[in-house]
Amino acid sequence: MDQAILGLTNKYNGYGMALFVLVTTLIAGFLSGIIGMERELKGQAAGLRTHVLLAVGSSLMMTLSIFAVNWAIGAYTGTDTTDPSMWKSTYDATRIAAGVVSGIGFLCAGTIIKNGVSVRGLTTAATLWLCGGIGLACGAGFILEAIVTTFVAMFFLLGLVRIEKAMDKRSPQVRLIVAPSVPILNEIHDEADKDRLIIKNIVSENVKGEDGVDVVDITVFFAYKSDSASINDFCESFSNNASIFYIKGGKFDKRT
């Protein structure tokens, strides 16, 4: 498959390269679109179009890096460089690819958001970087390898979600019922630091209390192997807070 697509570059009276670019960019866009759709469904800012455009651009740049540079040198020197066997090691085809790999880092960094102790966008940054690699592979004519990598990535992206959710369910957690419009999150972070607890995630939801009053239901997820005594101390520190109606975590279960 790879050889057949690479063979397009020297066919059709010079138009084979255009056909090669058409095929490789379409495949790069399709493969990255599979990964981008998963991010789109998760509501990430860098979704379907971002992943597709990154891979398509990377594919084109890799093709330029391999073919255009060498062919241009042949045109200037008057030598035949359309045959890959004639390429010299000084015509480094990895220069543009190296620039693409490092340049993607700036785009990836823009998807990472830090909110308190929570960090969002790390997986999206990784998928963007991966799509850059898929695009480079397609641009080099390694279509089959790009397809294999795409499906391996999707296997782990979708498969590991279940493992992560299962681990979250078994991770120590503390539930608090808090009065609305109370800035309690900073206190939660400060107390966790004081008790040397690592917060993995905080989920909050506006709900109705038992008496019909609006309250905020907050669940704090800690690292898997957190000390139970520290979690009890964490809960105890909020037991006298008038803005907290209910708190439960570890062996601590109390209405304030």
Q: What is the DSSP string of 216-231?
A: EEEEEEEPTT--HHHH
Band of residue 92 on the pLDDT scale cut at 50, 70, 90 = low
Residues 185, 221: one domain? yes
Residues 175, 158: one domain? no
Q: Which helix (H) or strand (E) holds 204?
A: strand 199-208
Q: Which residues pair with 252 in a beta bridge?
A: 249
User: Per-residue pLDDT for 87 more than 80?
Assistant: no
CATH number at residue 226: 3.30.70.260
Residues 160, 196: one domain? no
Residues 62, 151: one domain? yes
At 73 the pLDDT is 55
In the chain, the number of structural domains is: 2
Residues 189, 124: one domain? no
Residues 93, 141: one domain? yes
Q: State pLDDT tens for residues 13-30.
A: 767 777 888 888 889 888
Residues 158, 185: one domain? no
Residues 164, 177: one domain? no
User: What percent of the chain stands above pLDDT 70?
Assistant: 79
Mean pLDDT across the stretch 122-143?
Answer: 81
- Which of 168, 190, 222 corresponds to the end of one domain? 168
Tokens of 169: 């369910």
Q: Which of 13, 104, 12, 9 is nearest to 64 (CA)?
A: 9
- Under DSSP, is residue 32 helix (H, G, I), strand (E, B) or coil? helix
Residues 160, 36: one domain? yes
Average pLDDT, the chain: 77
Contacts for 210 with CB less than 8 Å, ≥ 6 apart:
none
User: Per-residue pLDDT for 216 more than 80?
Assistant: yes
Residue 201: other Cβ atoms inside 10 A: 14
Euclidean distance between CA atoms 36 and 252, whole angstroms: 43
- Which of 168, 185, 210 corresponds to the end of one domain? 168
CB neighbour burial string for 66-92, b if at least 16 within 10 angstroms, e if fewer = bbebbbeebeeeeeebeeeeebeeebe
Band of residue 89 on the pLDDT scale cut at 50, 70, 90 = very low
- Which of 168, 184, 213 corresponds to the end of one domain? 168
At 45 the pLDDT is 61
Higher pLDDT, 81 or 223: 223
Residues 114, 194: one domain? no
* Residue-number span of the structural domain to which 200 is assigned: 171-255
Higher pLDDT, 11 or 78: 11
